[in-house]
Amino acid sequence: MPANLTPEELLLTIKELEDKNRQLVQKTEGLSGELDRYRLLIDSASDLIHSVTPEGAFLYTNQAWRDTLGYTEEDIRQLSLMDIVDKKCKGKCEQIFNCLMKGDKIDRNTTTFIAKNGDSVFVEGRCSTHFENGRPLFMTGIFRNMSDQTRSELALLQSEKRYKDLFENSSDLIQIVHPTGKFLYVNRAWRETFGYNQEETAALSIFDLIAADCQGHCQTTFQQIISDPKLHYIDTVFNTKDGRQVIIEGNAICNFENGKPIFTQCIFRDVTEKKKMIEELIKAQKLESLGVLAGGIAHDFNNLLTAILGNISLAKMYAKPQDIITDYLHKTEKASIRAQGLTKQLLTFSKGGAPIKKVTPLTELIKDSTSFVLRGSKVKCDYHFDQNLWAVEADEGQLSQVAQNLVINASQAMPDGGTITILATNESLALNESSSLPPGNYIKLIFQDHGTGIPPEHLSRIFDPYFSSKSTGTGLGLAISYSIIKSHGGLITVDSELGQGTTFSILLPAILNHVPQPEKQDNLHNIVARKILIMDDDQTVREIAAAMLTFIGCSFEEAGDGIEAISRYIKAQKDSVPFDIVIMDLTIPGGMGGKEAIAALLALDPQARVVVSSGYANDPIMASYKDYGFYGVLPKPFKMDELCKVIATAIN
């Protein structure tokens, strides 16, 4: 201040200085209030805010920063920026920090801070450096805590992985398809079933796999799926890479976005074996229904044939060989035997029917049966049998019928002639090797022709009763064959290709280590006179049986049912003229039949010799007559020689 000022000037100067000082104080107080407001605003922010020196020491941290990381003001004074950075991120953070100190701009930075309690805090934010005269004064960072979001994303990724693992390891066939039909995803079961790898599948459309005869239906169904958000049932056939057909069923649903289809999810099951088993069951049910009718017809028809064949047999005994009537009788007998064959076919379907089995070597049986039906034909058989072929326990007549049916079909498929190849091999099935047969030892029979083949649309129906694609025939041949093989505990299947031929494969349970026993020779012409009791509800059958017995010199009595037969048997014992043999009809409508009668008869006389006879030749009792106490079995219709043989067998 100048020393030569007057008192007035000095007072004025002091007043100016006081005014300036007052203004400065007011301005300072304003700045302090404004700073407090900014500090409050920053502390109220949810983001984590800090500023650090070029050396990394903390100048400031806001409340959210301290609350999130758990450090106190005292802790912060002892820390540097790199002290709170996760060691996995330190290299990256040091590089970014150095760039910031050079003036580089970092728009977005992600890193992980370590809280005081050791928790990891994943943050994302921006950092900037304040410079003065080209020198960095401090760096400010504003971060957002992304830990919850990161955990959610990780959980989502883990959930996605779990679902992907679930789909990939599922036994169901799972596919995701674009609205164009292109595959977006298929799981492992799908790839293994159809034989394609992931790269091959990416180049395929769903329509590349659908079987030709299902294309039209599936095109329509696919359009419905991508037009309607509801769940759709799918049942179709896919072709595998190697040409096999797989029947699938399941559900498909389309995902939409803004009304447009995005992708379709499909979950299928391979039901090929299931469908085959259902078809087998349906066939069995059809045969059972037919058997109810066929059994009754065949029983009555066999009674009539018994009378017809019996009378023919007797007439031939009295006729002279050179008489013309002998020729007529012979032709009539042949026609009756053909009718008997038709009855046997019907009986194959009888409800509860069972073959009359015995241990049988197949080699001669198959050769005899097939060569017989091909006599005079332009078709021949080429046989290939294992040298040590096992035996089977079977009904020879029924197996012969199967072989003849298959050979007849094969020869008809080769009208210009050819060769039918018949193979027989020993085969052992392991557990789960076949869905229809238990593990064990089997004979495998193959009948193979090179004929016209069977149309694909007929393959599933060829074993149905009365189904035939030929203008002639009953349509029973293959149905009978199917039923016979099934009743023997076996399996018959077919493979065919148009223009290439057809192969029928048969599996029959085998008997190992069988030693053939020589057959006993019966003298049918030297039966000593015996007393026979005939029990049958049909008077015609009783009459022809009586006539036959009279012819061979046996005495007889007749009974209409089991009660009358037991009464006559008891009376004969009391009179000391017992019956040597009883021939019992198995089925007596409305009365006591052979099954009940023999139980009562054996209770009276355990030594009673009883022969069971029935028009139901496939009844289980006929197949295992010894289990019920019978000495022999006499299926209807029977001829003279068959009656003589069963009497001789029972006596001996």
Q: CATH says 45-145 is which class?
A: alpha beta
The kind and range of the H/E element at 51 are strand 48-52
CATH code linked to domain 531-651 = 3.40.50.2300
Q: Whole-structure pTM over 0.85, yes or no?
A: no
Q: What is the largest CA-CA distance in the chain?
A: 188
CATH code linked to domain 281-348 = 1.10.287.130
pLDDT band at 352 (very low <50, low <70, confident <90, very high): very low
Higher pLDDT, 155 or 86: 86
Integer Cα distance of 106 and 580 in angstroms: 119
Strands 58-61 and 106-114: unpaired
Integer Cα distance of 36 and 44 in angstroms: 12
Average pLDDT value for residue range 130-150: 84
Structure confidence by residue, pLDDT tens digits, 223-246: 999 999 899 998 999 999 988 899
pLDDT of residue 618: 60
Closest to 295 measured CA to CA, from 643, 615, 621, 628 = 615
pLDDT of residue 535: 93
What residue spans define the domains of the chain? Answer: 1-37, 45-145, 170-270, 281-348, 362-511, 531-651
Integer Cα distance of 510 and 574 in angstroms: 50
The fourth-level CATH superfamily of domain 170-270 is PAS domain (3.30.450.20)
Q: Report the 10 Å Cβ neighbour count for 30.
A: 10
Alpha-carbon 617 to chain mean position? 36
Cα 125–Cα 115–Cα 127 angle in degrees, nearest 5: 20
Average pLDDT value for residue range 367-374: 79
Angle between helices 324-348 and 396-412 (to 10 degrees): 90
Identity at 506, one-letter amino acid code:
I
pLDDT band at 291 (very low <50, low <70, confident <90, very high): low
Integer Cα distance of 454 and 460 in angstroms: 10
Q: Are 236 and 248 in contact (CB under 8 A)?
A: yes
> Do 45-145 and 170-270 show the same overall fold?
yes
Sign, Cα dihedral of 601, 602, 604, 610: positive
Strands 610-614 and 632-635: parallel
The fourth-level CATH superfamily of domain 362-511 is Histidine kinase-like ATPase, C-terminal domain (3.30.565.10)
Q: Is 583 exposed, middle or buried (0-12, 13-18, 19+ CB in 10 A)?
A: buried
> CA-CA distances (angstroms) from residue 605 to 439, 469, 600, 610, 649?
44, 57, 9, 11, 20
3-state secondary structure 625-639: HHHHCCCEEEECCCC
Structure confidence by residue, pLDDT tens digits, 97-126: 888 888 887 777 888 899 999 988 888 888
Structure confidence by residue, pLDDT tens digits, 591-613: 898 889 999 999 999 999 999 99
